[in-house]
Amino acid sequence: MALKVCKFGGTSMADGNVIRRVKDIIYGDDARRYVVVSAPGKRYSGDVKVTDMLYACQSETEKTGGCKDSFAKVRARFESIVKELNTDFDIKSVLDETENLIVENNSPDFTASRGEYLCARVCAAAFDAEFIDAADVIFFKENGAFDGEKSYAAVAAALSGVRRAVIPGFYGTGADGKVKTFSRGGSDVSGSIVARAVNASLYENWTDVSGFLACDPRIVDSPKRIKNISYKELRELSYMGASVLHADSIFPVRKANIPIQIKNTFAPADEGTTILPISRYMPSGNIVTGIAGKKDFTVIFIEKSMMNSEIGFVCKVLGVLARENISVEHIPSGIDTMSLVIESSQLKLGELNRIIEGIQAEVDPDVIRVIEDIALIATVGHGMSSSVGTSARLFNALAAANVNIRMIDQGSSEINIIVGVKNDDYEKTIKAIYSEFFK
């Protein structure tokens, strides 16, 4: 029998009326047995997400030793949801207990996790399902990394024989026995973990959009929907800013060859986007699958004659960054040159000065200069590697749009080409690439 794990995002949990819609979706397919939920999101423009309310609770707790004022907003939100659901769930007792535990624990991770916890408690009652606390089945190692071996076994054991269950996303238990969260948006990862643990036939990720679009709709009007995409393509696009799915959510299901389907809670009949392992991937016929990018990078350009013959040159340069705890996004290089592409948010003026001084001391370059306000745009697609002239088309399109390319980097997999341009040319670059390959 097919088995599906469903994750519903914050908008899908925004109020009781939407949660009733979610219940209809679940009961509309008998294979949808296990549900992972996020904290309630915004109900309308200008509304506040429950997770943000909880961050305010933590701030108040740290300052005053209590969170009565901030938690009142959380309390009102969940009481409203239960009222809209018209259930007899005793939300007051659960909220009282939660407020006390937030103060008692005084932990940012514990406090932030309570939105998912409370939502799962309410949904389990509304869906006539069993509540499984993520803290009992998802674990982290001492170094903070996810403990897959322990977690998969615990999830599988907890769900064995359970007809229908609701599990809160976003958190688990650290090696110290305390609640620990994934990075924000980590409920996608939780859903993927549950799907892997129960060997699901499909992981459905329900959001407020009908799948992935070929590029940002805020830049290009009505971009095409991507019908099928591979794990590799998704990883590239997610990393470069496509935000429908948490980038790390791919890994658990990819190892088990479980497809992911992005679906729209508000338009459940829409086909959505299916993310497939390469062994099951069916190309759409388009050379390019999608385009994504980010602004605000800094490039440190280094030039030195005979760099290629100097043993350990790159290692010495990267060692300087490691000492400053700075990660590098890309390292385009030539015979006597290399560039370090770093997200500008990592760099303060003092750190940048120390990095420059450290590189000069370690490798004595002939030239070293800093280029700021750079945007990176990735053009991604399996069809690119087998299509002659793809790069030429891309660069000609940017030349015609009067875009000056400051950097080019192509991955060894040949499914992506990354160009660096000035921040001011970011939108123009995406429009030009989309027009060339999709119109």
Domain boundary residue among 185, 208, 231? 208
For residue 272, being part of any structural domain is answered with: no
Residues 153, 155: Cα–Cα separation, whole Å: 6
Residues 143, 147: Cα–Cα separation, whole Å: 10
Average pLDDT over residues 117-140: 98
pLDDT 10s digits, 5-29? 999 988 899 999 999 999 999 999 9
152 and 31 belong to one structural domain: yes
Task: Identify whether the C-beta of residue 252 lies closer than 8 Å to the C-beta of residue 196.
Answer: yes
Average pLDDT over residues 331-354: 90
Q: In what order do the strands lie in the sheet with 337-343?
A: 337-343, 290-303, 367-380, 416-422, 407-410
Domain range for 162: 4-208
pLDDT at 412: 65
152 and 299 belong to one structural domain: no
* Count: domains in the chain: 2
- The DSSP string of 154-175 is HHHHHHTT-SSEEEE-SEEE-T
pLDDT 10s digits, 173-213? 999 999 999 987 788 999 999 999 999 999 999 998 888 89
pLDDT at 231: 86
What amino acid occupies position 389?
G
Question: What residue spans of 86-129 are helical by DSSP H?
Answer: 91-105, 108-126
**pTM of the predicted structure, to 2 decimals:** 0.85
Q: Which residues pair with 35 in a beta bridge?
A: 6, 166
299 and 203 belong to one structural domain: no
Task: Identify whether the C-beta of residue 366 lies closer than 8 Å to the C-beta of residue 303.
Answer: yes
For residue 351, being part of any structural domain is answered with: yes
Average pLDDT over residues 127-136: 98
For residue 227, being part of any structural domain is answered with: no
Question: What residue spans of 284-418 are helical by DSSP H?
Answer: 313-323, 349-363, 390-400
What amino acid occupies position 402?
N
Exposed (0-12), middle (13-18) or buried (19+): which is 161, by Cβ within 10 Å? exposed
- Write the CATH number for 424: 3.30.2130.10
The whole-chain average pLDDT of the chain stands at 92
Residues 6+ apart with CB under 8 A from 328: 318, 321, 340, 341, 342
The number of angstroms, rounded, from the C-alpha of 405 to the middle of its chain's C-alpha atoms is 28
93 and 186 belong to one structural domain: yes
For residue 278, being part of any structural domain is answered with: no
418 and 301 belong to one structural domain: yes
199 and 295 belong to one structural domain: no
Run of H or E including 273: strand 273-276
- Write the CATH number for 181: 3.40.1160.10
Side-chain-side CA neighbours of 290 within 13 Å: the count stands at 30
- Answer whether residue 116 shows pLDDT above 90: yes
172 and 60 belong to one structural domain: yes
For residue 75, being part of any structural domain is answered with: yes
Residues 48, 26: Cα–Cα separation, whole Å: 27
Average pLDDT over residues 242-268: 85
Q: Which residues pair with 379 in a beta bridge?
A: 291, 417
pLDDT 10s digits, 263-275? 999 999 999 999 9
